[in-house]
Each structure stands twice: as C-alpha cells, then as structure tokens.
Amino acid sequence: MVQRVAIYCRVSTTDQSCTRQERDLLEYAAVCGFEVVGVWKETASGIKHNRCERQKIMALAQSHSIDAILVTEMTRWGRSTIDLIETLQSLHSWHISLIAQTGLQFDLNTPQGRLIAHLMASLAEFERDLLRERVRSGVAAAKARGQKFGRQPGQRVKADKLAPKVLQMVNDGYSYRKIADKLNLSKTTVNDIVKRHRQSPKKSSSEK
C-alpha cells in the first residue's frame, strides 16, 4: 500500500529558505513511491516551542490522515532530544513513522526503531538531569551573590502600578467593586490601595 506522507521543512531564520528542503524531499518521496499529502514549512529556531505548522502535522497524524512524516534530517523536526523522543512516542501510539531523507527511520514497530528510541530516551533523561543541575547551580550562585528570587514581602508590583488609576476612579465616584472589575484587581486590593493612600498623610504629619 502506498504510504501517505506529510513533508515538513523548517529553517531557523528569516534570511533562510525552505526551497532546497522542499525540492529534495519531493524528489525523495517520488523515488520511494510515497503519496505526498502536503508540504508544511515554517521559520522557527531550534528552541522555539510554538511551531504552528508542526502542530498541524501532528493533528494529521493523530487523525490517521497520514502514514508518515518526511524531513531532511531529525534536527529539522525535534527542538531537543527530549522533544524528539516525546513526539516519537506520540507518533508511535498513532502508528505513524518519522522518516529522514538520510535514510534514518523512526518506526517503533521495528527493532531498529525501538533500539534508537531506547537510546534516545536515555539521552533525553541525561539532558534533563544536566538542565536541572545547571538550574540549581545557577540559582545557588545567584543567591550567593545576594540575588533574591520571587516576590519579596511587601512588594505590590501590580497594585502600586495601578494605584493612581484606582485613586482617580475613587475620586470619580466609582465603587470599589466596579474599580476591581475594570482593572482586574480584587476588591481587597482596591481597598488596600485606598487605605494606604489615606494613611500616608497622617504618617507624614506625625513625623513632623
């Protein structure tokens, strides 16, 4: 039975083109006797998570509208070892293969595919461990330099930013509930802003 394939091309920057990848993959598909369902192209860096065109192909795979995905090389498809193995596992559950023009084929129904997937899963776990270690080391080094993480006690970034608007709306006669709804704040926050503002002059006068 003729395999239906989706061709996926990706370049990293806008000054690059998918033309060569598309041409090479169409020729490869013709030689292999594949039926090309369509060609999906996009510009996205290797670490970019939002790949709309790739998501469209994954949707086709999940609906069994294709039998395989064709790429020039695996790095065009996966953002990382972890991402590659995770998408491979999804494709396997849908019985869809990922085929590279180089001849490397990830079909988890074959011994070769299962071996490669097992090796890549080990590499993915190693990559996760390295990432966790880098994060921990970075945080520890930053803390040693005195850097603090997260919102500190007493910080009211959003409330302080919107305080002038809140006070103006109070002067204009808006209710606290209406102000909270319009500025996407809680009624308690609005009340606290007004309370701090009213207490401020008293504090200043007491200090004189």
Q: Alpha carbon 121 to chain centroid distance? A: 20
Residues 56/65, Cβ–Cβ less than 8 Å = no
Token digits of residue 61: 């795979």
205 catalytic? Reply is no
Task: Tell me which of 12, 17, 122, 186 is the catalytic residue.
Answer: 12
Residues 185/159, Cβ–Cβ less than 8 Å = yes
How many H-runs (helices) and E-runs (strands) does the chain carry?
A: 8, 5
Q: What is the DSSP string of 64-86?
A: TS-SEEEESSHHHH-SSHHHHHH
β pairing state of 35-43 and 105-106: unpaired
Distance from C-alpha of 129 to C-alpha of 123, rounded to nearest angstrom: 10
Q: Assign residue 11 a region: left if phi > 0, alpha if psi is -120 to 50, beta otherwise?
A: beta
Catalytic annotation, residues: 12
